[in-house]
Amino acid sequence: MSYITTKDGTEIFYKDWGPKDAQAIVFHHGWPLSADDWDNQMMFFLGQGFRVIAHDRRGHGRSTQTDTGNEMDTYAADVAELAEKLDLKNAIHVGHSTGGGEVVHYVARSKPGRVSKAVIIGAVPPIMVKSENNPGGLPIEVFDGFRAALIANRAQFFRDVPAGPFYGFNRAGAEVSEGVIQNWWRQGMMGGAKAHYDCIKAFSETDFTEDLKKIELPVLVMHGDDDQIVPYADSAPLSAKLLKKGTLKTYPGLPHGMCTTHPDVINADLLAFFKGSS
């Protein structure tokens, strides 16, 4: 398996498939998952001739179970070290949920020439938690509930989330996949409890407003309007409005985990954006 070791000694696991001279797509996973959450997209875009890369965020998956640095500044710095190690140029960065925040935070700070486009899917920007400046956000008590559930019984919490709201399996008529639920649980339980606990603050309380304003590159903002994890109204439309070259694409009825439940739809739209002139 492939790892880089960051400046603070953290080992970051990554996959790097395909021709090294092809355009690279870098995938950033959601909380509390791993690079494996991108299996559908990695296989599809590998078949389309791209170089596909995905890493396990620190504290997640096969990377070091860190007890420090579990916040967005360090997540973005880790991505910068990975991009430098692999000498990525004009890469496309795609992030889901927490990974969308990581993409925005990284791209806003990236060296010229490293990134050409970005995509955020069901993503946490501009900011999730409710405040005076974000009246449409979720109350802090929601995230306190996540923390309490994680401490009380992480294994059961990580079973309940995918079985319910994450994939919309709690909706009437949903086609429930036990394999998808178990794969979510497997990925989650590979990571570290302390890192997962800290990451709840990172994805809910980090304000990405200034990052979004800084980005000059084309960014596709994809979001299902039945997202029960990152509510649509307080996320995607606001992010697209803050971006200089943001394009909003809304998916009626699709859930938070739509990359897994509807890969044919998502992959086709990603491919069109990647091959488009902007």
Nearest to 196, CA basis, from 164, 236, 151, 249: 151
Under a CB-based contact definition with an 8 Å cutoff, are residues 247 and 219 in contact?
A: yes
Q: For residue 252, is the peptide bond before it cis, meaning its omega torsion is within 30 degrees of 0?
A: no
The yes-or-no answer on residue 97 being catalytic is: yes
User: Which is catalytic among the residues 28, 55, 223, 256?
Assistant: 256
Give alpha helix (H) positions in the chain.
39-47, 72-85, 98-107, 140-163, 178-190, 193-205, 209-214, 236-242, 258-261, 263-275
User: Which is catalytic among the residues 29, 36, 93, 97?
Assistant: 97
Q: SS3 sequence, 7-68?
A: CCCCEEEEEEECCCCCCEEEEECCCCCCHHHHHHHHHHHHHCCCEEEEECCCCCCCCCCCCC
Under a CB-based contact definition with an 8 Å cutoff, are residues 250 and 236 in contact?
A: yes
User: Which is catalytic among the residues 227, 234, 235, 239?
Assistant: 227
The yes-or-no answer on residue 256 being catalytic is: yes
The yes-or-no answer on residue 196 being catalytic is: no
Active site residues: 97, 227, 256
